[in-house]
Amino acid sequence: MCKLLGLFPIMHNKANNVDCMKEEYIEDVSALITSALSLAVGLGYDISADTATLFGSITPVVQRTISRVLTVFQGKSFAKIESARMGVCYNSLVESIKKNEADGKPYNDAFFSQGSVYGKIDELAEAVLRAAMDDSQIVKSHHYGKLLGNALYQTKYDESSIFLLLRIAQKLSFDELCLLAVLNDMPQKNYEVLVNGDDKRAELMVMMANLKASGILRRMPPFSVGATLDNLQISVLGKDLYTLMDLQELDPNAISDLKQLIDFYVRA
């Protein structure tokens, strides 16, 4: 019998005589993830020592989906930083799944109705991993994993909803995600004072405009003719993204700095 690496343990079914080809196929994926995690650690990112154990203990159907998706990436060449981003994303994905299961949350059956066929949930998981690998800000990779890991345990969202949130997340910078976290706890405010400002006001204006254009912020009455950033409030879409990406875990210093800037410039 072929020998498996620890990241993807499979029960050997003697009755069905699981063949060595299948085990070698899983072993290749295990080597891929082992390398990705090692590269992430080498770049100084916090990776759980028990990631392999956590993966081996999650619900089998979720395990199989992740394993199946990872085979898309095996045998291909990636830059070290791309592999490291995958490792960060994968680690947070597994941690998020395990946390949801420990909290007693059932996975969304609708996501896993395709059986062994490469279906919509597999496409979504592949898209999340690719997004993490392609994003130049590796710090966002952690939150891409959270997005998928939390979405699997929500009945509120279908695949199209999560794809939409993923596309929005890809367009936002890390600073804009931090700004989203600040605005999540803020009441409706008029940010028009930022328009045509200078220094940090100009930066805030651009970020606010991007959040508004992405549907993260919405205008609220009373409306002012010709205004662009008047009376804005975080939208339902924004709150969904905040929750699924676990943005409460963002760097408190980055959040605090942005909040102080807003409090300084936007007094009303």
CA gap 189, 267 in Å, rounded: 9
Tokens 């200078």 belong to residue: 198
Two tokens, residue 177: 């995600």
Instruction: Please choose, from the candidates 182, 254, 185, 176, the residue with its C-alpha nearest in 3D space to the C-alpha of residue 215.
Output: 176
Continuous segment of H or E residues that includes residue 232: strand 232-234
Grade residue 114 by pLDDT with cuts at 50, 70 and 90. low
Whether residue 161 is found in the same domain as residue 220: no
Whether residue 88 is found in the same domain as residue 185: no
Decide if pLDDT at 240 tops 90: yes
Here the CATH number for the domain that contains residue 220 is: 1.10.10
Whether residue 34 is found in the same domain as residue 142: yes
Decide if pLDDT at 21 tops 50: no
What's the domain count of the chain? Answer: 2
CA 233 to chain centre: 23
Q: What is the pLDDT of residues 118-151, one digit of tens each?
A: 777 889 999 999 999 999 999 999 999 999 999 9
Whether residue 207 is found in the same domain as residue 153: no
Whether residue 189 is found in the same domain as residue 100: no
Between 60 and 24, where is the model more confident? 60
Whether 74 maps to a domain, the answer reads yes
If you write DSSP's letter for every residue of 35-95 in order, what string do you get?
HHHHHHHHTT----TTHHHHHHHS-HHHHHHHHHHHTTTTT----HHHHHHHHHHHHHHHH
Whether residue 103 is found in the same domain as residue 234: no
Whether residue 158 is found in the same domain as residue 201: no
Strand, coil or helix: what is 191? coil
**pLDDT confidence of residue 246:** 97
Between 255 and 24, where is the model more confident? 255
Whether residue 161 is found in the same domain as residue 179: no
- pTM score, two decimals? 0.86
Instruction: Please choose, from the candidates 161, 135, 260, the residue with its C-alpha nearest in 3D space to the C-alpha of residue 215.
Output: 161
Q: What is the arithmetic mean of pLDDT over 235-248? A: 96
Whether residue 121 is found in the same domain as residue 35: yes
Whether 4 maps to a domain, the answer reads no
Task: Give ∠ CA 60-31-78 in degrees, rounded to 5.
Answer: 115
Whether residue 139 is found in the same domain as residue 187: no
Domain boundary (128, 147, 166) is at 166
Range of the domain at 117: 20-166
Q: What spatial distance separates the first Cα and last Cα of the chain, rounded to whole Å?
A: 70
Q: Beta strand 217-219 with 232-234: parallel, antiparallel or unpaired?
A: antiparallel
Q: What is the pLDDT of residues 183-202, one digit of tens each?
A: 998 898 999 999 987 888 99
